Chains A and B, each alone.
Chain A
Amino acid sequence: MVRNSFRLIILVGLLVIFSTLVWSFNGNNELNSLAQFYTQQENIEAVNAANLVSAVVVTYRGFDTLGEVTILFLTASIIGFFLKKKLSDTQRKEVRESSDILVTASKILVPVMILFGVYVIINGHLTPGGGFQGGAIIASAMVLALLANPHMKFNHQLFNVLESISGVSFVLMGIAGIVYAGGFLDNRILPGGEVGTLISAGAIPLIYIFIGLKVGSELSNIVGNLQVTQNEQ
């Protein structure tokens, strides 16, 4: 009982703090100065990306994205470390085959989902979407393939190589930004093009492709590692 009242006190305190926060929030009728900097005309034309969120994620706040991808890599490798088992002391168990409906549907859907993920990644600087979303869609396609065929084993080596190469090229593009343009992860190392066309926005599509490959392979690695544990005894 005493414990529960302590918890209640904590929650009531937080409720008071949150209600004062909501009370003092007046809504926005215009952007604050930082957002105005990102959305004014000359800065949009300098970056040349139609999707302003992509411009913020990849260029202005690209360093945060690098740290975020590193955290994701760290969690994926810790999960792989914890779930690793020696192949000798695990006997494979018979798994029930998936139903015909799932197998047939996955044969049609998996290529379409991967194609849609690639589309979302490539159009990240024009429409809503980008590397994170596309990578997650590709990982979802991998999950569907795994559900349809439980015996399928991912080629973890391939995923690791893909992920390392894209991580290294992400950092190299950033350093190229220091050497040839204004700063780390500056996208003006490639010609800007015209706002709204597929080949525009300098290096943003390339960087987003690397981010998409990295996120997709890391999430697939996590799911694949968890799938392997399902078949063990």
Chain B
Amino acid sequence: MEYISMITGFLLVLLGLWGVLTQKNIIKIIIGFSIFDTGLHIVLVSIAYLRGGTAPVIDKAVKVTEAIEKVVDPVPHALVLTAIVIGLGVTALMLVYALKLYQNKKTLEVQSFNDLKW
């Protein structure tokens, strides 16, 4: 199962990057970034998976003494948890920049932003 999800994650990363590199519309580029994000999170979580492991929560099913054998790795989960929240902030920031660019130039096509090109 971890192989399948890891391959899915890497394919999503490639698709997102392809979208970022080829699309002309800024909103589409931001969508590509968010797909890239999701793919990387899936890869990280699938690295943490342990064959036959359960969620890292101590309860009736997992006693304190046997946690070391039964649970999956909690560290990548913590990293992904924070990365998702940061991803929302960064996406919102990119969208607001896109809005500002639109208000200046009245267009969302990347090619028309050629102020630094001469």
- Contact, CB under 8 Å: B77 / A53: yes
Within 8 A of B (CB), among A3-57: 4, 7, 10-11, 14-15, 18, 21-22, 25, 27-32, 34-36, 38-41, 44-45, 50-53, 55-57
Q: With an 8 A cutoff between CB atoms, is A215 at the interface? A: yes
Query: In whole angstroms, how far apart are the Cα atoms of A71 and B47 in the complex?
Result: 26
Q: With an 8 A cutoff between CB atoms, is A64 at the interface? A: yes
Question: Contacts A27-B2, A53-B81 given: A39-B68 contact, CB under 8 Å?
Answer: yes
Query: Which residues on B sit within 8 Å (CB–CB) of A114?
Result: none
Interface centre among A36, A72, A215 (most CB of B within 10 A): A72
- In which size bucket is the chain A interface? 35 or more
Query: Which residues on A sit within 8 Å (CB–CB) of B56?
Result: 39, 51-53
Name the CB-closest residue of B to A215. B85
- Count CB-based A-B contacts (< 8 Å): 140
Query: Which residues on A sit within 8 Å (CB–CB) of B21?
Result: 7, 10-11
Query: In whole angstroms, how far apart are the Cα atoms of A18 and B47 in the complex?
Result: 13
Min CB distance, B8 to chain A, in Å? 11
Q: With an 8 A cutoff between CB atoms, is B100 at the interface? A: yes
Query: Which residues on B sit within 8 Å (CB–CB) of A7?
Result: 18, 21-22
- Contact, CB under 8 Å: A61 / B50: no
Name the CB-closest residue of B to A130. B81
Min CB distance, A54 to chain B, in Å? 9
Q: With an 8 A cutoff between CB atoms, is B65 at the interface? A: yes
Q: With an 8 A cutoff between CB atoms, is A196 at the interface? A: yes
- Contact, CB under 8 Å: A132 / B82: yes
Contact with B along A156-179 (1 / 0, CB 8 A): 000000000000000000000000
Q: With an 8 A cutoff between CB atoms, is B31 at the interface? A: no
Query: Which residues on B sit within 8 Å (CB–CB) of A83?
Result: 96
Q: With an 8 A cutoff between CB atoms, is A219 at the interface? A: yes
**What are 21 A-B interface contacts by the 8 Å CB criterion?**
A4-B22, A21-B10, A22-B3, A25-B6, A25-B47, A27-B51, A28-B50, A35-B74, A38-B75, A39-B56, A45-B64, A51-B57, A52-B56, A56-B78, A57-B78, A64-B78, A68-B85, A79-B92, A82-B96, A128-B57, A222-B92
User: What are the nearest 9 A-B pairs in CB distance?
Assistant: A75-B89, A52-B56, A35-B73, A56-B78, A50-B58, A68-B82, A18-B10, A52-B74, A7-B21
Beyond the given A75-B89, A196-B59, could you list 8 further A-B residue pairs with CB under 8 A, ordered by the A residue number? Answer: A7-B21, A10-B17, A28-B2, A29-B51, A83-B96, A127-B57, A136-B85, A226-B92
